[in-house]
Amino acid sequence: MQLGAAGYTDWLFFHLWKPNKATNQGCPDVRVPNTVIYRWAKPFFWYFTSSDGNLSRRFKNKMTHKHIYQEFMDNPKGIVASYLSFQENKKHEAVMEYFTSESFIDFVHNRDKALNGILQSWVEPKNFRNSLIKVVWSSQFCLIERRTNIHDIRSTKVDFYDKLVTFEGLEHNSNSEAVTVPSIVKEIQKTCLGISDHIRVVTGGNVSITRMTLYFKQDYSDQIWLLFCTSLKIFDLNSFERETNSKEVKISLPEIAKKRKISSKCGLSELKVNKKLCVACNYLVKKESFHNIPLKVLIKITEIGRTPPDAEKEKEPTKIPSVVKRINPSITQKDYLKLKKNKQKLQKEVKVCEDCFLFYTKLFYHSGIFSNEKPAKTRQHTPIRQPVVSSLTTESSRPNSFLFVTQFPNIPKDPKPKIHLRKLTSHSYKRVQLKSQARPRTEKTPPDSTSRVVIAYRSPSALPKKSPSRKSLESTELKSQFVQETIGLLKNGLTNSKY
């Protein structure tokens, strides 16, 4: 017996529904939501859990889209159903879709179905966060993993699929958790063991399950529901191969949910939530991925016939650029000519998506479209005059004293500069910056233009002989000899000095 990817759930649900001759009932302790199995793009089987808790199947006269619509639309305000479709050309791959009331009506009455698919009613999760439990079971072990979405399903600030995906979506949208509640673990193990025993009984002991991968869901009342099967390995005594080894089905999202941009003509309203129209490419993009660009750049580049590569093309080209028409649909040719002459309006910024922003900025800097334009006039600031610093030291590489004179250019020297003494440690060489002494402001002399003299000494031997220590420099002798010698150095141009 060969089972395709689309036949795992179909085969499993059929044998779970098949009644046991001893009890005349299906597999006990298994809850299944309303599940419609599609074959050749038409509803073929409809399984559900009856009020007494047994797995049942509807009659053929109920297998119509009218009855499916009436049964599934119990919760029209929220999410209605999920749809797992299989492609013939892509083996072991499936696509998971979620429907609201609006998209479910379009799916039931208008949309083309896949040849093989599974339509299930929505099971409300616990704590308003979608969660699935993946179970890999065999007779030797049982691995249980839970994956919970990090977003609230009621949130309108998150994309539709980002708040619903679990195992089929990107990892950053959900968290992997270990199932540690003993009651849930015990119930899941009991259900898997009951499925294996029931199939062995209803097949007369000819078929036994050696390994299977099942997906369960816990609802708000802590009940466990069986959703679908993605891998099934069986041992069949009647088959020539005896053991059928199946490859696990990989579940992914539809292509429209993977795209960062969605066409503005898309009929799925749930995908348009938290998205904004880009005036450059006419696609719906997330609000967080918009950037500002001047309107003048958009008009210039559009007029030379350059548009973003993925932009929607107009059926009837006009003289007014499509960017301007999307910003102001009622604009006329006369208004557009006035707009091009209004430099103030051209400098206004327009929000475009990230792809269009990169496209326009690349052309702006590399194509030379704006090279002929004159640069904007800017206010010229006068440069700040920097002080000219001259230093006088002895001929030795490590002098005992330094004399720094700081004076602004084009300003007459102060006949009485202020002298500052700074003592240096034995291993330090640093310049001491001091505030200049204020002078009366004149027309030629700006404020704070007093020249500054800093004498830094290391040892008393570097000082004049009559001033051997710091205390003597601070005494009245400083005025008589040291200041006179320092002023003399300044008058001589700081050239002949023993300091």
Q: Could you read off the pLDDT of 186-205 as tens digits, one per residue? A: 999 999 999 999 999 999 88
Residue given tokens 């004399």 in the structure block: 403
pLDDT band at 486 (very low <50, low <70, confident <90, very high): low
Q: ∠ at Cα 38 (36, 39), nearest 5°?
A: 150
DSSP character string of 406-427: EE-TTSPPPSS-EEEEEE--TT
- The tokens for 426 are 């034995």
DSSP string, 350-405: EEEEHHHHHHHHHHHHHS-TTTTSPPPP-PPPPPPPPPEEEEE--SSSS-SEEEEE
Q: In the prediction, which pLDDT does 472 show?
A: 46
Give the list of residues 6+ apart from residue 295 with CB closer than 8 angstroms, or none.
327, 345, 346, 347, 348, 349, 350
pLDDT (average), residues 104-110: 88
Q: Using the predicted structure, report yes or no on whether residue 280 has a pLDDT greater than 60.
A: yes
Range from 319-323, 366-370, 455-459 that averages highest in pLDDT:
319-323
pLDDT at 313 over 80: no
pLDDT digits 0-9 by tens, 215-248: 999 998 999 999 999 999 888 877 655 556 678 8
Indicate if the alpha-carbon torsion angle 16, 22, 25, 28 is positive or negative. Answer: negative
Q: Which residue has the tokens 């099942």?
A: 214
pLDDT of residue 215: 96
Please enumerate in sequence order all residues whose Cβ is within 8 A of that of 213, keeping only pairs 6 or more positions apart, or say none: 134, 135, 136, 137, 229, 230, 231, 232, 248
Q: Which two tokens stand for residue 292?
A: 């500002």
Question: At 55, which amino acid appears?
Answer: L
pLDDT value for 474: 46
Considering only residues 384 and 41, tell me which one the structure prediction assigns the higher pLDDT.
Answer: 41
pLDDT exceeds cutoff 60 at 398:
no
Distance in angstroms (rounded) separating the CA atoms of residues 230 and 215: 8
CB 453 within 8 A of CB 490: yes
126 pLDDT band (50/70/90 cuts)? confident
Share of the chain above pLDDT 90, in %: 26
Q: Could you give the CA distance from residue 46 to residue 293 in angstroms, rounded to a whole number? A: 55
Please report the pLDDT score of residue 423 as a whole number.
Answer: 45
How confident is the model at residue 307, as a pLDDT? 79
Least confident of 138-147, 165-174, 435-444: 435-444
| More confident call, 452 vs 6 | 6
Arithmetic mean of pLDDT over the chain: 75
**Sorting pLDDT into bands at 50, 70 and 90, what band is 377?**
low
Q: Where are the alpha helices (DSSP H) in 216-278?
A: 255-258
Characterize the bridge pairing of strands 418-423 and 452-457.
Answer: parallel
**Model confidence pLDDT, tens digit, residues 336-363:** 888 888 888 888 888 888 888 888 888 7
What is the C-alpha R_g of the chain?
42
For 188, other C-beta atoms within 10 Å of its C-beta total 21
pLDDT band, very low/low/confident/very high, at 121 (cuts 50, 70, 90): very high
How far apart CA 216 and CA 32 sit, in angstroms, is 10
CA within 13 Å, CB half, 84: 25
Is the confidence at residue 4, as pLDDT, over 60?
A: no
Q: Which residue has the higher pLDDT, 187 or 405?
A: 187
User: Is residue 300 over pLDDT 60?
Assistant: yes
- The span from the CA of 346 to the CA of 299, in Å, is 9
Residue 466 has pLDDT above 70, yes or no: no
Distance from C-alpha of 179 to C-alpha of 187, rounded to nearest angstrom: 12
Highest mean pLDDT among 54-58, 337-341, 432-436: 54-58
Amino acid at 66: K
Residues 460-472, mean pLDDT to the nearest whole number = 46
Q: Which two tokens stand for residue 135?
A: 């179970």
Give the integer Cα–Cα distance in Å for 84 and 253. 10
Q: What angle do the packed helices 354-366 and 295-303 form, to 10 degrees?
A: 70
Confidence band of 17 (pLDDT split at 50, 70, 90): very high
Residue 308 contacts residue 381 (beta carbons within 8 Å) = no
Strands 207-218 and 290-294: unpaired
